[in-house]
Amino acid sequence: MKRVLVVDDAPTVRMYHKKILKDAGFEVDEAVNGLEALEKALMNEYNLYVVDINMPKLDGYSFVKRLRASAEVKQAPVIMVSTEAEEKDKELSYEAGANFYLVKPVKPEDLIKYAKIFTGVGL
Amino acid sequence: MNNSLLEQFIIESKEYLQKIGEILIKLEEEGSSKELLNELFRLVHTLKGNSGLFDFPAMTKLLHASEDLMNRLRDGSLEYTSEIADILLEAMDTISQMIDEIEASGELQPSTNETAFEKASFIRNFLSEGKDSLKKVKKRVEKIEDQPTEVKSYDYLVIPEDTRMLMVRALFEGKPVRILQFSPEEECFYKGDDPFLLVRNTPNILWGRYYLRERIEDIETLDIYKCITNFDVVAIAEDSVLKEHFQYVLDQIEIIIPSISQLIIPKGDRNGGPVYEDFVEEFTEMLKKGDKGILKNSLRALKELTAPNLYVSSCLRWIELLIDYLPDSMVYIEGLLRSIKTFEPPRFGEVQKTYEIKPEVTEKSMTIPKEVLRVFEEQKKVLEKISSVSQELKEGILKSVFLSLENALTASKNSELLERLKQKNTIEDIRSFIEECLSLKVEEYRKPEKVEKVEKAKKVECVEKEEKVSEVAEKPSTTKVLKVDETKIDRLMNLIGELVVTKNSLLYLSRKVDTEYELVTFSKEMKQYYSVINKIAEEMQDAIMQVRMIPVSTVFQRFPRLVRYISKKLGKKVKLIIEGEETEADKNVVEALADPFIHLVRNSLDHGIEPPEERIAKGKPEIGTIILRAKQEADRVVIQVEDDGRGIDPQKVKQKAYEKGLISEEELEKLKDEEALNLIFLPGFSTKEVSSELSGRGVGMDVVRSMVDRYNGTVSVTSVKDKGTTITLSLPLSMAVSHVMLVEAANQKYGIPMDTIIETVRIKKEEIHVFKGVQTTSLRGKVIPILFLNDLLELGVPPVTTEDGEYAVLVLNIKNEMAGIVVDKFLGTADIILKPLPGFMADITLFSGTAIMGDGSVLLVINPKELIEWR
Amino acid sequence: MALEVKKNKAILKEIVTVEEAEPLFEWFLKVKKPEVDMTECSHIHTAVLQLFMIFKPKLILPKDEGLKLWLIGF
């Protein structure tokens, strides 16, 4: 089963993403900020990260940067999820090393589709 | 999922709001600090993100505006003042109230929504105008919203909505639409010009206005020979035509070419509640199916509930117009639907952009799902960024891109490309591989193109483009749902109708062969073939009818919302039960049902169901029940509206009918209760004099009846005082082919609809008695009136009896009354296609139409209801 | 004469030209509540139209549908 780490400081959003992904057959783990996410990423192996940008302690950009700089981690794809629909936020995300960008609120079917594509699960 | 998620949202929001409140107070006390402002921003930002998961656009909008305000505070471009503190506190109060309302009822009060929208606009304006403009805010908001960015654009709002609608129609129909501004020179009167005359004669003028371009300072010194009038004209004409007309004043005119999106400006009072959100969702669903009739019906229902001066109503009017131009008008409809939800002016430009991209991606992705292609495209963008990132990230990013591509290809089961990807390892290699994949799809697209062409030739299309894509990509064997243009089905329907009629001529011919040419065997063979053709034709007809059948749920669907809305307005508690919504009937019938049904349900809510206190006092359950029921009975669909309200008092009905002069004093005395109830269907009868606020007019049952009559249906009512009322509509399942009994009178053939005929009997002359001046006979113990078709049609020929001295009598059931009609002869039955009477005869309601018979003769089909009333 | 002036009422008939603007203007200046009967009028010159916009007299609308439309707004 593919493992996804959902990173978001808002419990509601975490719950939402978690529920969608679980129902689609993923194993889901969660982290409340970038720092916790990084710790978990170093200790476990995930197939995908679904990451919020604006978070306390360590924001989404910084988390992805640190993740991509960690040689020992399998570089699983990162989907950034943010409320900002502006191109600039997407570019910053890609500069940090994310692989995809979705705007909140994410449609369940989109999240499922892209999670499947990024983890290699047949559509 | 929604409930627990919503609970979580409420809990979290309350927590945040409390924190926000604390910080706002702290800021006031301790002065602004970067840390506090950052924290504040984050909290509001998160709240906004959360609210976006639900459908509370007003809340999201207000939070978004607040977030932007905080962002300005955070980056120092605005200073934190007590004025701003007030704005923020107020905004958060509104959010708190919204959370409370959501917690209490799961939805927002319209007034709160309104407040939130207002506050959001206020903040937006505050941000764009600076703080000293607070007073002017409201007016400006409107201006800004109406005219997004263009500085010197035409103010399309000066053109009335109906004119703009005509313009949009013309544009969709590919006609040239122009706005011409004419500013005549001051001294033109001296040249003998009359600009007004010139303007009035503009070719194909649709609309015009004039206004003074200068303010009059002092009337006494006015120079009346100085032209200070400007004109605006809308015309449906090419530039060249207009330029020719205004050829001597070309320097004084300006021609504007309006676009559709500029003209669609919904306008009105921005009031309204969450009730529209359901509508928008349902409508969006229906839009996918693209049935114009159903779409229009659904619109009409909501429009009736919406006062015409509302913003939403204006949106609905626009959508109604745009439906005619589907699919081209799709983007505009979608924009308007969004606007109904958000109350923001619709934006079509953005939409168009995404639409331009979509089909392209869709088409090219016939072999690779479009989402996978998007992932590829995004990875290309990630790689474009890679040159600018620090060295330590590069390897990780490249790995992640590789992994993303690998997984995407695995997901789409493209092993060939997958193998090739595995050979690549440098950035450049991967980049060119992506390019190659993205261009590949164009070539591979060729094959499916053929498939599409075949489909086009058949003139059918898939329900949804997207669906088609995924089907082709995944499981090509799935049954496809086809969307067929209504007119094509109608054509098929007409053709089969003609066939049914023509095949009858075969039978006629075979008889002729037998009797006139005495070719008995040949005639027999012909008859055999006839029966085969007959069978096939019947099956075909049946099959086509099946295609036209739609479930009544298309009409029922909107009632839960309607009932909820109306009952809330009336302060009544009502439970709605829907039964048999899967019952199917002909599309036309179902559509015809919609309007009378709204009347009936509204009546039940308005007059039937009592207010909760009254119900409790009567010892009835506090919550009233309305049941909508549909079922099929033989070849009719029966629809009932049943309520457990106060019922109809037959005495009051009689009294009322008498007062209105609808019945005589004698009738007042003798009318039985159940007969009295039927008086409510009389034109001019309405039990409530004051028209309902909701309906905006008195709801007359006669409207229901005339509607039902028109579709050859019946309506009846049963009611018990304080127990409830049931109204039953019965309509034919289909209206396309009519089954008639052929009769003869005075050597003429007439058709009588089979559905009104109970039986055919023969009655001896002596069995007819004159009773109270009416000829009657007794049929199995029941006295029925006897009428002579020859008299009714004023044919001037006495009726004919059989050799045994018997009359041929058709026993009809008309409005639950039995009557016998004497004809000369029964000629058997036939299936006919009923056609309306030609123009000059259209007023003769005695006949419901004509039909062409197999032998080419024209059959007049009698409308028995009228026949009886004529007498 | 396309213009006929009474006490509080002016009657415009058929085609009203620029010539009528002057007397109409004088009349408008004198009368408090001007009323203009346009029943039989089919066109007014721009100069007269301007006066209407300035003095806003009470209008008895013309039978001419085209002109009527312009006066009451499309």
Tens of pLDDT, residue by residue over B328-342, are: 788 888 888 888 877
Residues in chain B closer than 8 A to A71 (CB atoms)? 395-396
**Higher pLDDT among residues C20 and B554, named by residue:** C20
CATH number of B737-870: 2.40.50.180
Q: What is the mean pLDDT of residues B525-535?
A: 84
Express each pLDDT in B668-720 by its tens digit. Answer: 888 888 788 888 887 777 655 443 433 333 346 777 777 777 666 788 888 88
Q: Are B120 and B61 in contact (CB under 8 A)?
A: yes
Express each pLDDT in B40-94 by its tens digit. Answer: 888 888 888 888 888 888 898 899 889 888 888 887 788 888 788 888 888 998 9
Q: Which of A68, A80, A109 to mutate to test the interface with B (most CBs of B within 10 A)?
A: A68
The lowest-confidence range among A23-27, B14-18, B484-488, B610-614 is B484-488
Number of domains in chain C: 1
Express each pLDDT in A61-78 by its tens digit. Answer: 999 999 998 888 889 999
> What range does the domain containing A78 cover?
3-119
Question: Does the pLDDT value for residue B266 go beyond 70?
Answer: yes
Express each pLDDT in B91-138 by its tens digit. Answer: 998 999 899 888 888 888 888 888 888 888 888 888 876 544 444 433
Handedness of CA C28, C30, C32, C34 (dihedral sign): negative
> What range does the domain containing C18 cover?
3-72
CATH number, domain with residue C31 = 3.30.750
Tell me if residue B571 falls in helix, strand or coil: coil
C/B Cβ contact: 3+ pairs below 8 Å: yes
| Phi/psi at B626 (5° precision) | -120, 130
Q: Do A99 and B413 lie within an 8 Å CB cutoff?
A: no
Mapping DSSP onto H, E and C, the string for B605-651 reads HHHHCCCHHHHHHCCCCCCEEEEEEEEEECCEEEEEEEECCCCCCHH
Chain B residues within 8 Å of chain C (Cβ atoms): 160, 163, 184, 189, 194-197, 200, 206-212, 216, 219-220, 222, 224-225, 227-229
| Phi/psi at A44 (5° precision) | -120, 170
CA distance B841 to B109: 55
The lowest-confidence range among B215-219, B250-254, B515-519, C20-24 is B215-219
User: Which pairs with CB-CB distance under 8 Å and at least 24 residues apart come from B480-483?
Assistant: B483/B289, B483/B290
Instruction: Give all chains having 3 or more CB-to-CB distances under 8 Å with chain C.
Output: B
Express each pLDDT in B569-582 by its tens digit. Answer: 788 888 888 888 88
Model confidence at B466, pLDDT cuts 50, 70, 90, reads: very low
Q: Do A83 and B49 lie within an 8 Å CB cutoff?
A: yes
Q: Which two tokens stand for residue B660?
A: 């209105």
Q: How far is CA B465 from CA B289, B314, B360, in A?
A: 11, 30, 11
**Could you say which of B163, B196, B206 has the minimum Cβ distance to residue C49?**
B196
- Beta strand C9-16 with C35-44: parallel, antiparallel or unpaired? parallel
Question: Does the pLDDT value for residue B327 go beyond 70?
Answer: yes
Residues in chain B closer than 8 A to C51 (CB atoms)? 224
ipTM value, please give it: 0.94
CA distance B7 to A25: 24
Q: At what angle do helices B559-570 and B275-289 cross, to 10 degrees?
A: 160
CATH number, domain with residue A86 = 3.40.50.2300
Q: Do C50 and B209 lie within an 8 Å CB cutoff?
A: no
Specify the pLDDT at position A17: 92
Q: What is the mean pLDDT of residues B438-457?
A: 42
Specify the pLDDT at position A115: 94
Question: Does the pLDDT value for residue A48 go beyond 90?
Answer: yes
Alpha-carbon gap: B205 to the closest alpha carbon of chain C (Å): 11
Domain covering B156-263, topology: Alpha-Beta Plaits (3.30.70)
The lowest-confidence range among A83-97, B355-369, B404-418, B751-765 is B355-369
Q: Do B224 and C44 lie within an 8 Å CB cutoff?
A: no
Q: Do C74 and B209 lie within an 8 Å CB cutoff?
A: yes
Tell me if residue A7 falls in helix, strand or coil: strand
CATH number of B2-146: 1.20.120.160
Average pLDDT, chain B: 77
CA distance B708 to B593: 8
Model confidence at A26, pLDDT cuts 50, 70, 90, reads: very high
Question: Does the pLDDT value for residue A114 go beyond 90?
Answer: yes
Q: How many CB pairs under 8 A join A and B?
A: 128
- State CA B810 to chain mean position distance: 43
Specify the pLDDT at position A60: 92
Specify the pLDDT at position A5: 96
Express each pLDDT in A10-22 by its tens digit. Answer: 888 898 899 899 9
Residues in chain B closer than 8 A to A95 (CB atoms)? 385, 388-389
Q: Which two tokens stand for residue B578?
A: 């829907």
Specify the pLDDT at position B856: 64
Chain C residues within 8 Å of chain B (Cβ atoms): 18, 21-22, 25, 29, 43-47, 49-51, 53-54, 66-67, 70, 73-74
Express each pLDDT in C19-72 by its tens digit. Answer: 888 888 888 888 888 888 888 898 999 999 998 888 888 888 888 888 888 888
Number of domains in chain A: 1
Q: Do B212 and C43 lie within an 8 Å CB cutoff?
A: no
Q: Are B809 and B761 in contact (CB under 8 A)?
A: yes
Alpha-carbon gap: B7 to the closest alpha carbon of chain A (Å): 9
Q: Do B412 and A100 lie within an 8 Å CB cutoff?
A: no
A/B Cβ contact: 3+ pairs below 8 Å: yes
Residues in chain B closer than 8 A to C54 (CB atoms)? 212, 216, 219, 222
**Could you say which of A12, A96, A123 has the minimum Cβ distance to residue B5?**
A12
State pTM to two decimals: 0.34
Q: How far is CA B853 from CA B503, B545, B755, B835, in A?
A: 10, 22, 19, 12
**Could you say which of C21, C50, C70 has the minimum Cβ distance to residue B228?**
C50
Give, in words, the CATH class of B552-648+687-732. alpha beta
Q: Are A9 and A100 in contact (CB under 8 A)?
A: no
Instruction: Give all chains having 3 or more CB-to-CB distances under 8 Å with chain A.
Output: B
Q: Which two tokens stand for residue B761?
A: 């009997």
- The string over B254-277, giving b where at least 16 C-beta atoms fall within 10 Å of a residue's C-beta and e elsewhere, is ebbebebbbbbbbbbebbbbbbbb
